Copies of this chain bind each other. A is one copy, B any other.
Amino acid sequence: MSDEKIYTAAMIVIGSEILSGRTQDENVQYLAQKLTDKGVRLQEVRVVPDVELAIIEAVQTLRSKYDYVFTSGGIGPTHDDITSVTLAKAFSVPIEQNEEAYEILRAYYGEVALTDARLKMAQIPHGALLIPNPVSSAPGFQIENVYVMAGVPKIMQAMVDYVVAAISGGALLMSQTVFCTVYESEIAEDLERLQHKYPEVDIGSYPHYTPNGSGINVVLRAINERQLIDAVEDVQRIVQLLERKK
């Protein structure tokens, strides 16, 4: 199972409103969790403004580096929604009215209310496949290894569910967390030793501070279940010893 292909991914959040601090992004964590559950490694996220050059540069760099690229944002009807036309430029293909998208929008809005602004949402790069939008109809799309999705979390989440179900996943990464009330600096040397002992297990330490006190979560992740279980038991033994000393 360890030699199964590892699939990698990047995400591009297209949104000046995230960079100005107006909006708290919720899409990164949603996609990250779904990809992790699928076995796909999210390796990088970039947040870029609604600016053509910035989007093109991110798409081209990341799609040659990773198996999948997911974007969120900028596919609505207003002038600042430039993702679709920009993606067509990035792939050097024409942008055109997609007949399937047109029919979807016509069914949703009706012939009369299908204004020019709404019709803009049927403009899709040539050769792209549509990603359904069960919330408000206007679709996302896939072009080669790039999946273009809405920024509104409810719509984005539905699109992620659809896309992640369809892609290849690869070897699952199992994860276990050991919580303890010691300080990071008390357990740091033991964790470093364990990291050397179990090179196939990714051991991370995440402190958290609450009004009720502080502690750390030791998160262990591995494809190899036997190694993971052994490493978790070692961490638990160390934590017991340290907590008993207090």
Q: Which of A33, A54, A185, A204 has the most CB of B within 10 A?
A: A185
Residue on B nearest A192 in the bound complex, by CB: B79
Q: Is the CB of A152 within 8 A of B208?
A: yes
Residue on B nearest A115 in the bound complex, by CB: B185
Q: A115-B186, A117-B185, A204-B16 are in contact. Are A191 and B21 (CB under 8 A)?
A: no
Q: A117-B185, A117-B189 are in contact. Are A76 and B46 (CB under 8 A)?
A: no
Q: Is the CB of A78 within 8 A of B29?
A: no
Stretch at the interface among A37-45, A95-103, A222-230, A231-239: A37-45
* A46 partner residues in chain B, CB cutoff 8 A: 44-47
Q: A33-B21, A47-B45 are in contact. Are A118 and B78 (CB under 8 A)?
A: no
Instruction: List the number of copies, as a whole number.
Output: 2
Residue on B nearest A207 in the bound complex, by CB: B152
Q: Is the CB of B54 within 8 A of A205?
A: no
Q: How far is the CB of A63 from chain B (nearest CB, A)?
A: 16
Is residue A116 within 8 Å, beta carbon to beta carbon, of the partner chain?
Answer: yes
Is residue A28 within 8 Å, beta carbon to beta carbon, of the partner chain?
Answer: yes
Residue on B nearest A33 in the bound complex, by CB: B21
* A203 partner residues in chain B, CB cutoff 8 A: 79-80
Residue on B nearest A221 in the bound complex, by CB: B20
Closest 9 CB pairs of A and B: A21-B32, A21-B33, A117-B188, A79-B192, A45-B47, A77-B185, A78-B205, A117-B185, A118-B185
- 22 inter-chain pairs at a CB distance below 8 angstroms, sorted by A residue, are A16-B202, A20-B32, A21-B30, A21-B34, A22-B206, A22-B219, A25-B29, A43-B49, A44-B46, A44-B54, A45-B45, A46-B46, A76-B205, A78-B192, A79-B191, A79-B192, A80-B195, A80-B203, A115-B186, A115-B189, A118-B185, A152-B209
